[in-house]
Structure 1
Amino acid sequence: MNDPETNHKNPLEWCVFGVSLLVTIGTIGYLIVGALQRKSGPPVLEVNLGKATAADSWVRVPVSVKNSGHSVAAGVEVQVAAMDGSSHQSATLKLDFIPIDAERHGAVLFKAGIDPTTLKCEVIGYQNP
């Protein structure tokens, strides 16, 4: 029953085993090195406004927020304000989650009549998850 000839491994089995072992060790090594080299620090949030478009009685302004920092940002709040001389309108955009090295997009709406060149934007808050 335990004949040495029947327990002999096929060379193809050894090749598959070797390749699988190398891939597994390589993946684990890559994850360990990545975890050890990860820097810590706060999120760095950059806000950019897109081209404003008018529709009906509204002006839609696309907003993109990029996190180039070293930690995740949750509950990000962005305020966009139209600073015309006679009127002042503001809108707030809330983004749930921005991972490291990721960008999220949204839009804010203003009543028609704003000057898109007077728009100012800033991040007014976020949470550490």
Structure 2
Amino acid sequence: MTKHPAKDNKEPEQQTDKGGATRKPGTSTTEWIVAGISCAVLLAVLGYLVVEGLSGRNGAAQLVVAPIEITATDGGYVVEFSVSNRAGKSVAAVEIKGELRDGDKVIEESGATLDYIPQDSERLGALIFRSDPKARELRLFASGYAEP
């Protein structure tokens, strides 16, 4: 009969790396540090996404249109403008209208459509008028948009 060594008395086997040095099996300190940092980053990203999702920033868009510069050209007058989207909602197909007014009377109208304005951003555009906007009251406003 052959005697077998007791299975309970086994010590963990040591492993040999490529350089011939022996090391104990298990997770190294470096691996634990990297795992801890990765876990912290993952929790931070998930926390940010939860807070952002629950913040209620998906209300109506807040579009503010402001004139930048008026330039005379051969075809009329170009009014450059900026549109700021100050809400937490992106919008598409934003219609910008401009009016030249004399008191309550609208003398001339112009319009432009901006394809897309992301949340908390600004886009530029221009309207073209035949009459001089400096000689009249200029009104710029957003008249509509679509959900992207």
Asked if Structure 1 and Structure 2 have the same fold, meaning a TM-score greater than 0.5 normalized by the shorter chain, the answer is yes
CA distance, structure 1, for counterparts of residue 25 and residue 121 of structure 2: 52
Higher relative contact order (CA 8 A, sep 6+): 1
Tell me how far 1:84 sits from its aligned partner.
Answer: 5.2
Instruction: List structure 1 runs of 4+ shifted beyond 6 angstroms.
Output: none
CA distance, structure 2, for counterparts of residue 92 and residue 128 of structure 1: 20
The aligned counterpart of 1:96 is 115
Contact 2:100 2:139 in 1 (8 A): yes
Structure 1: any 5+ residue segments left out of the alignment? Answer: none
**Structure 2 CA distance for partners of 1:95 and 1:30, relative to 1, 3 Å:** same
The Cα offsets for residues 33-52 of structure 1, whole Å up to 9 and x where unpaired, read as 11112334211211111120
| Structure 2 residue 47 is matched with structure 1 residue 29 | yes
- The amino acid of 2:111's aligned partner reads T
- The amino acid of 2:13's aligned partner reads D
| Structure 2 residue 3 is matched with structure 1 residue 3 | no
Tell me how far 1:27 sits from its aligned partner.
Answer: 1.0
Structure 2: any 5+ residue segments left out of the alignment? Answer: 1-11, 15-22
CA distance, structure 1, for counterparts of residue 50 and residue 133 of structure 2: 51
- The amino acid of 2:73's aligned partner reads A
CA distance, structure 2, for counterparts of residue 81 and residue 63 of structure 1: 13
Task: After TM superposition, list the pairs within 5 Å mapping 1:63-78 onto structure 2.
Answer: 63-78=81-96
TM-score normalised to the size of structure 1? Answer: 0.81
For these two proteins, the number of residue pairs brought into alignment is 127
Tell me how far 1:58 sits from its aligned partner.
Answer: 3.0
